[in-house]
Chain A
Amino acid sequence: MLLFYVFALVAVVASLLVIAQRNPVYSVLLLIASFGALSGLYVLLDAPFAAVIQIVVYAGAILVLFLFVVMLLNAPHEDTDEDLLRLKTINAATSRLRGGPMLFGVALASLFIVELLWALNRVTGAGRFDPAAADSVSSVAAIGRVLFTDYRFAFEVTSVLILVAMVGAVVLARREEAAPAPPARK
């Protein structure tokens, strides 16, 4: 139980710090920490497979790409003094424009909070943990069987989606070759 609170605390604090950081590289690292804590929660739920996949896919693959992009673009720190100064000077001029997005953000946040409260309300103490159900999700064989029988349509659709994304990425990356090739170097 103590471990649950440790992992939960790490996950929540790290997630909050992700958006509080000014340096995007730190944000990515905190996101990794948050995923690591989530993976710990999966272990506590007796689902080691999900825990490891969480690390392999999110922390190991996707966030490496995030880090790559952030590092290569050399994204500037947000809200430097210069930015703040500029913000102040144009504050008055754009206050009307910024009102719209801000209202939208507030609406979205309140919707999220209402949904969260509703969901928390529905969770009851009884029957929350079922060892038999936990066994069925922790077994890799069971996951594979369910994936290729009950959920095979979703699985196939996801595969096609990823394939399309891959083809799209290749097309985008190769587009500049359509331009006439530069003269060969002597």
Chain B
Amino acid sequence: MNAVLIAEIVILGFVFHALLISAAAMVWVERKVAAWLQQRLGPILVGPAGLLQPFADIIKLIFKEELRPAAADKWLFYLAPAISATCSFAAFAVVPFGGETTFMGLLDRPVKLQVADVNVAVLVIFAIASMSVYGIVLAGWASNSKYSLLGALRSSAQMISYELSYGMALASVLVMANSLSLTDIVNAQEGAWLGVLPRWFVVLNPVGFLIFFTAGIAETNRAPFDFPEAEQELVAGYHTEYSSMSFALFFQAEYVNMVTVSAVATDLFLGGWHTPLIPAAIGWFGFLLKISFLLFFYVWMRWTLPRYRYDQLMAFGWKVLLPVSVLNLLFVSAWVLYFGF
């Protein structure tokens, strides 16, 4: 019993620190990939291949002066980055990243590789995603600056619009797996056809995956949907007035959100830890590979596609993505009802 408890605490600490490190790693990956796409070298001076550059950045940010506009709302100005960072970490708590394990016989009872096994995990993720809009809105409002406020308004309009399609894509997976638990959803994708083609939901429900990932990019405010911080128009959008570590919290929240959305997409559509050719004992390795690919895809998108116009974003969200996601949900439901899956 005690060993299991200790193992769970270790998993909790591991997930927290892995997310912290992943944010730093993603900063490095983003700068390197951007540089390669633009035929530059990127960071090369700090550490081997510039690997320590994010840590140098963090040390710099810690020693920067913390500025607060005189007209800002004192409490909300500091509450906003805390909300953003908390939401980004909290969502990962219900994401499983591996099957049950005893850590090579170390424990007498297998534990699940996840922080909290909630039977409505998918809804929890959706709820936390809908809460994270507060961090951005409050940052914009509390800064008392027009650029921040415009960024915040854009962001909330965008997140609310795309949340609908996001929810519809989630629902199409729930219908297929007949469960709200992420562990059940992953286990429903076990196995392969003809030994090679994995039974992942991305194969059965490709439209749902595309909708989910597109809406996920909009939810995390990444290019080509990065209107809240469109630097050519809004200076830096909702975090214009932030400096030092409160800025770093927003920055980190964005990258942790990317990791979380990728992890959720992996669990929902890419079979989680079930990967052909990778033995179940190191299923988490397959999970890691898939997340890395999705994260690379995020960066790739950002440095390939230009930002849309704002009205294009809204028209796309409401007139294309939402109808398609509703039709997809109807189609998937009818298919499951009449043919099973």
Interface residues of A (CB under 8 A from B): 25, 29, 32, 48-49, 52-53, 55-56, 59-61, 64, 67-68, 71-72, 140
Contacts and interface: CB of A to CB of B under 8 A. Distances in A.
18 contacts: A29-B76, A29-B134, A48-B119, A48-B120, A49-B123, A52-B120, A52-B126, A52-B127, A55-B131, A56-B127, A60-B131, A60-B133, A61-B160, A64-B160, A67-B134, A71-B149, A72-B153, A140-B180
Contacts of A52: 120, 123-124, 126-127
Contacts of A25: 73, 76, 141
A48 to B, nearest CB: 5
B293 to A, nearest CB: 30
Main secondary structure of the interface of B (DSSP, over half): helix
Given A25-B141, A64-B137, A140-B180, A55 B120 contact: no
Nearest to A72: B153
Nearest to B118: A48
Nearest to A56: B127
A20 to B, nearest CB: 15
B145 interface: no
Q: Determine which residue in B76, B119, B127, B141 has the highest number of CB atoms from chain A within 10 A of its CB, and name it.
A: B127
A60 B118 contact: no
Contacts of B73: 25
Given A25-B76, A25-B141, A67-B137, A56 B156 contact: no
Contacts of B76: 25, 29
A60 B137 contact: no
B76 to A, nearest CB: 7
A68 B123 contact: no
A52 B167 CA distance: 14
Contacts of B127: 52, 55-56, 59-60
A32 B134 contact: yes
A53 B123 contact: yes
Contacts of A32: 134
Interface string B160-177: 100000000000000000
Given A64-B156, A64-B160, A140 B120 contact: yes
B130 interface: yes
